[in-house]
Amino acid sequence: MLCQECGERQAEVVLTTVINGESTTRHLCRECVKKYKAGDLQSILAAVLSAMAEKKQTPDLTCPRCGETYQEFQKTGMLGCAECYSAFRKELTPLITRVQGRAQHAGRRPPVSEEEQARQSQIETLRFQMEAAVAEENFEEAARLRDALRALTPAKEEKA
């Protein structure tokens, strides 16, 4: 039997990992088993993904932006684009929590540009005005404000 990790060398070791009570058995060569022993997260993820694929736990999902399917991700452990994280979020979050232990970023964040700051404060103002217009039952004005708001908000953000 060939190693399930590299697919090149002969598998000599059977490695069973238990993560959150779910056991995964993999046949590996001596080289690849070292990676697992070293706790290489990428290898651990690969093990979890291939165990899911074997059990036919493959959700039918496709990233709308790059066309990557969940099945492809299960095979390669690689995502196609930033949007895949949104498309597969429900499946990815528990996986990431499993390998990382935590699921909330605590580090550095990108700076917010002046342009973005201006846009955000304009959105807030428009929302406030729109709510006031609705309260005053001035629906014509509210509709105008809603359209102005839409023009400032990308489709994705609006849904959220």
Where does this chain bind another protein (CB under 8 A)? Answer: 38-42, 44-45, 65-68, 72, 76-82, 84-85, 92-93, 95-96, 99-111
Question: CA 82 to CA 64: how far, in whole Å?
Answer: 11
Minimum separation from the CB atom of position 106 to another protein (A) = 5
Minimum separation from the CB atom of position 85 to another protein (A) = 5
Question: CA 12 to CA 2: how far, in whole Å?
Answer: 9
Minimum separation from the CB atom of position 103 to another protein (A) = 7
Minimum separation from the CB atom of position 48 to another protein (A) = 10
Q: Which amino acid is at 156?
A: K
Query: Three-class SS of residue 155?
Result: helix
Nearer to another protein, 77 or 138 (CB): 77
Biggest CA–CA distance in the chain, Å, is 76
Minimum separation from the CB atom of position 160 to another protein (A) = 11
For 71, phi and psi rounded to 5 degrees?
-60, -45
Nearer to another protein, 40 or 158 (CB): 40
Burial status of residue 96 (CB atoms within 10 A of its CB: 0-12, 13-18, 19 or more): middle
Nearer to another protein, 5 or 68 (CB): 68
Report yes or no: 80 and 63 within 8 Å, Cβ to Cβ.
yes
Query: Three-class SS of residue 26?
Result: strand
Nearer to another protein, 80 or 130 (CB): 80
Nearer to another protein, 61 or 79 (CB): 79
